Amino acid sequence: MFRIESLLSARLFVSPQVVGERLYFISNLSGHLSLYAMNYGGSVPEPLLPPNLALQNPHLLGGYPFYVFADLNKILVMLDNDGDENYQPMVIPLEGGYPEPVFTEALANSRVHLVHCDPRTHQVYFSAESRDSDLQTTYLANLATGEIESIAASLYGSYPLCYSDDHRRMILVDSYTQGDHVLYLWERGGNGLKLVYGKPMEQRQAGEDVPLNGINSGVFVNQDSGLLVSCAVFDDRYGPAYLDLNQPGQLVEMKVEGIAHSGDGEMVGIQHLKDDRYLVEYNIDGCSWLYEATVDFSSMTLRLQRPIVGNHPPFVDGMLASYLYDEESDRYAVSYSTATSPTQLYTIEGADRQTIVQHTRERVLGIDADLLSPGEDASLISFDGTRISARLYLPSPFLGYQGARPLVYYIHGGPQSQERPDFAWFSMPLIQFLTLNGFAVFVPNVRGSTGYGLSYTKQVDRDWGGKDRLDHVHALKVLAKDPRVDVKRAGVVGRSYGGYMTLTLAARHPELWSAAVDMFGPFDLITFLERIPPTWKPYFKLVLGDPVEDREFLVERSPKTYMDQIACPLLVIQGKNDPRVVEQESRDLVEYLRGKGKSVEYLMFENEGHDVLKYENRVRCYNAITDFFKRTLKP
């Protein structure tokens, strides 16, 4: 008998930052996420926060969870309250201590994201979502002096994409939907914002089709007169382009030389390192690749110099949970994991980047590596000819299971996200635990997922429960042809949007499922839209629908409309402090089904939000899901 505690014995080590001979990072060593430091090369990790405080999952933050300002003897930390995501900036001494609030007068009633930090000048850039209105505001602050100024506010983000070295110029981005961005230039002493790329919402005609640009990163170059960006204007899988700020609206395509990877994927972004060196990240078949690069603006060429992650051990067939370059020491701090290996902390250094120092030795206890499932490619062609990337995780042959295995069908959240070989994320320990217990686990990235080009990602806009749903239905038909899988004993599970799709599939296609597990998924799209934070409403009005104008469509796509048809047992899991899918949404679902005499179980965590992070809760959650499927699918 295998225990989930064996998998969870491999603690998380994420968000590393190397400063001098010290390594700072986030870990759940104490049972919940907190901030630690240790000596370079390894030492007993030292807690830097009081034991009663918990940090949020860095995946859910829109920026840094913390940043070290060594010369100020301070660490800036972003704290919320048990998953409510009302992040506030706090400072602690370098050696740790009780956090004290900073910039409170400006930021107190906002959900704050720490977007950029400059350790040289102590400048920090915040993106703050108001809790009173639908406005988002960019602030520029100085941690040394305590000064803070409001730069710009917008319904659509006014997000600080990048800044000049002297902090006198900044690019702000309004994002309407995925890939639909408008760029503005802010200048110190200037007269407001200057439009440099895209078409603002207020200039668009009703129903106008504005080309997407997909600008997802930017760097000031050429004495701050231009921008080096990654975008989807010339390549749907993203690529580099140049924008002369004296010629707004005119992107110039750039070539890429030196690509060493192959497979399906996209460029994630470009950032400046130092001098004429840049860092380029790719996501290829869900796996991370990092290159150092130079740029030749005379020939408009981005030259990839060397892959520092992606093609050599230990950085193969896995994912970067996080990484950060330290200019002073010219080295990288990296957190990396695979489908079968937990997160480890490394530094990458040396002029040739061949010196890799491993700082942690996390491992799964009591379970041999050959009993875990690496998964196999199970990509398929969907009902309309669209290729769907997917993986199938089967129990290891060394476990001795015989015959076709019952199926657990796992659906990721987002929807504009991607399931990747990431041991730091909630899903991978669950997938491994399910295979150890005799289940086959199918993990698709259906249309609407990221990682396969902007056009693919956009297919879910204004179509929740449409073609994405049909991709899942078709995938089960394909899986039925695999003699290793028993689709007559199939269960479905998903989180967030994946929970929405779980409810949709279980209710609209009840003949397919013997069990379903919904983790904080929207039940009624109208109440979901009414309950989300006010700063999210402009975005969801565009990508999902308007609760008033699109009411008929939203009712048609809501799981609630079909819930009378559900025929299988349902387990619902929810965090009390979830601001994204509030607890009342799941409670409405449970009460509705119980009123109809349906079989439903409800597991609610009082001290969690839009995730399950604390050790005792994770043990209970993973066991509840696995035991539920064991009872209903009988592996």
15 backbone φψ class: left, alpha, beta (φ>0; ψ -120 to 50): left
Q: Phi, psi at residue 540, to the nearest 5°?
A: -70, -25
Among 575, 402, 419, CA closest to 483: 402
Task: Provide the 10 A C-beta neighbour count for residue 488.
Answer: 12
- pLDDT tens column, 430-442: 999 999 999 999 9
Distances 539 to 200, 257, 338, 412 between C-alpha atoms, Å: 14, 36, 33, 20
- Angle, in degrees to the nearest 10, between helices 467-479 and 497-508: 70
Please tell me the distance from the alpha carbon of residue 182 to that of residue 295, in angstroms, as a whole number: 25
Q: How far is CA 533 from the centre of its chain?
A: 19
Q: What does the pLDDT read at residue 61?
A: 87
Q: Report the chain's mean pLDDT, rounded to a whole number.
A: 95
* Helix spans in 372-494 (H): 427-436, 454-458, 467-479
C-alpha to C-alpha distance for 273 and 346, rounded to whole angstroms: 18
Packing angle of the helix pair 427-436, 615-633 (nearest 10 deg):
40
Q: Alpha-carbon distance 3 to 620, whole Å?
A: 11
Strand 376-377 to strand 387-393: parallel, antiparallel, or no bridges (unpaired)? antiparallel
Q: What is the pLDDT of residues 257-313, one digit of tens each?
A: 999 999 999 999 999 999 999 999 999 999 999 999 999 999 999 999 989 999 999
252, two tokens:
């110039």
Distance CA 420, CA 62 (A): 19
CB atoms closer than 10 angstroms to residue 515: 24
Tell me: pLDDT of 60 over 90: no
Question: What is each CA distance from 323 to 112, 366, 543, in whole angstroms?
Answer: 21, 30, 31
The predicted structure's pLDDT at residue 83: 87
Q: Mean pLDDT across the stretch 199-223?
A: 94
pLDDT at 206: 86
Nearest to 290 by CA among 322, 254, 326, 263: 322
Give pTM, 2 decimals: 0.95
Residue 22, pLDDT > 90, answer: yes
**What does the alpha-carbon distance between residue 578 and residue 321 come to, in Å, rounded to a whole number?**
23
Q: What is the pLDDT of residue 282?
A: 97
Q: Report the phi/psi class of residue 7: left, alpha or beta, with left for phi > 0 and alpha for psi in -120 to 50.
A: alpha
For residue 145, what pLDDT band results from cuts at 50, 70 and 90? very high
- Which pair of structure tokens corresponds to residue 519? 């983790």
How far apart are alpha carbons 491 and 505 in whole angstroms? 10
435-493 tens-digit pLDDT: 999 999 999 999 999 999 999 999 999 999 999 999 999 999 999 999 999 999 999 99
Query: Is 49's pLDDT higher than 90?
Result: yes
Token pair of 453 as six digits: 């080009």
**Whether residue 207 has pLDDT greater than 90:** no
**Predicted local distance difference test score (pLDDT) of residue 635:** 87
* Res 323: pLDDT: 96
What pLDDT does 424 receive?
Answer: 85
Inform me whether the pLDDT recorded for 414 exceeds 90.
Answer: yes
User: What integer pLDDT is reported at residue 41 of this predicted model?
Assistant: 83
**What is the mean predicted confidence (pLDDT) over 563-567?**
97
**Given this model, what pLDDT does residue 583 score?**
96
> What per-residue confidence (pLDDT) applies to 598?
94
Q: State the Cα angle at 591 between 585 and 597, rounded to 5°.
A: 140
pLDDT tens digit sequence for 352-394: 999 999 999 999 999 999 999 999 999 999 999 999 999 999 9
**What was the pLDDT predicted at 42?**
81
pLDDT higher than threshold 90 for residue 519: yes
